[in-house]
Chains A and B, each alone.
Chain A
Amino acid sequence: MKKLVYAIAFILLWNACKLNSSDNKALPIFGNKEAVTKTVNGKQVTDTLYQTIPAFKFVNQYGDTITDKSLDGKIYVADFFFTTCPNICPVMHRNMLPVYNEFKSHADFRIISHTIDPKYDTVPVLKKYADKMGISGNTWWLLHGQKNDTYTIAKSYLVSLQEKNPQGQYVHDGYFILIDKQKRIRGTYQGTDAKEVEKMTADIKTLMAEPDQKSTK
């Protein structure tokens, strides 16, 4: 009898492990979840509503208006920086370059970098920064906007920004946030860590292969 229990326990455990390790490849969905019950065709249906990035409006380095609509049907990575940042930004964007080069030929991929210092980082300053970084085309947008708007949108990416400290520097964390085509948060990566950014590149490929993320051509 005891042996049988052990055997059953073993089989259950083994199956549980196998389930996890099977090629069940999908990225997690982050942010707040909400269960919504609605009536469809007279039936009660409960759906999980995930946190999404709300509507926004910014201007990119070419002076074009970029809204949430511009990112419809795109997988994208968002981060926050400023061009005169002396500490983490050069590292973040050094690490972002390989991501840009890997995916710049994908029409459904974008990178958006919000400046948190809109006073200094005007559109021409952002354009110059882009030129010096060697980025062109529409894969990587550097976004300028009202400070309030940028700080508000940061919260929906779960990124924290702070005002200038007494030394005149902005404090911000260096996360890269991966957003899917449904505008849900699918990953956060420490942008200053090359290893984490490599993981992000792998995750982007995983995400692109998910059924509801496939290119719509």
Chain B
Amino acid sequence: MKIKLIGIICVVLAAFVISCQSDEQVEFNRYFSAGSAVYQANCQNCHGAKGEGLQGLIPSLTDSVYLKSNKYQLACFVKNGLKGQIKISGKQFEGEMPPNDLSPVEIAQVLTYVTNSFGNKSATITIDQANADLAKCN
């Protein structure tokens, strides 16, 4: 009896976990594929189809450590642009990235795409997360 009950609880728990995961996966896929389109339209010209950047002029998007340590500023970088010195993959860059007129959901999508492409791996950056980050822009 006891064993049966434990068995049922385990099955229910497992079902929960699986369905949760797939919900998350669906959400991730949705953000990722929409983000890919946003990237192509707004970022790819400069940063390249493989996020490779351009020589010493435009930084690559392949520095996972930089992306991770600036996770909560990325939304502001995209929205307001970025100016001045920046060190990416051990290389010093200067210059300017222009501001982008993207909606918070587009920012969330493109950040999900970038932080999960070009060798980067991270979680979904949701619209709630993007909005929270954008509220703290300088």
Chain A residues within 8 Å of B96, by CB: 84
Q: Are B56 and A88 in contact (CB under 8 A)?
A: no
Q: Are B56 and A134 in contact (CB under 8 A)?
A: yes
Interface stretch of the complex, out of A29-37, A91-99, A199-207: A91-99
A119 touches B (CB below 8 Å)? no
Q: Are A86 and B98 in contact (CB under 8 A)?
A: yes
Chain B 96-133 interface 0/1 with A at a Cβ cutoff of 8 Å (1 = within): 10100000000000000000000000000000000000
Interface size band for A: 10 to 19
Interface stretch of the complex, out of A62-70, A125-133, A136-144: A125-133
B46 touches A (CB below 8 Å)? yes
Q: Which among A84, A90, A133 is the interface contact of B45 at CB below 8 angstroms?
A: A90
The 4 A-B pairs at the shortest CB distance, nearest first, are namely: A132-B56, A90-B46, A132-B57, A133-B55
Residues of B near any A CB (own CB < 8 A):
45-46, 48, 54-58, 96, 98
Q: Are B46 and A86 in contact (CB under 8 A)?
A: yes
- Docked pose: A129 CA to B46 CA in angstroms: 15
A20 touches B (CB below 8 Å)? no
Q: Which among B45, B55, B56 is the interface contact of A91 at CB below 8 angstroms?
A: B45
A87 touches B (CB below 8 Å)? yes
- Docked pose: A91 CA to B47 CA in angstroms: 9
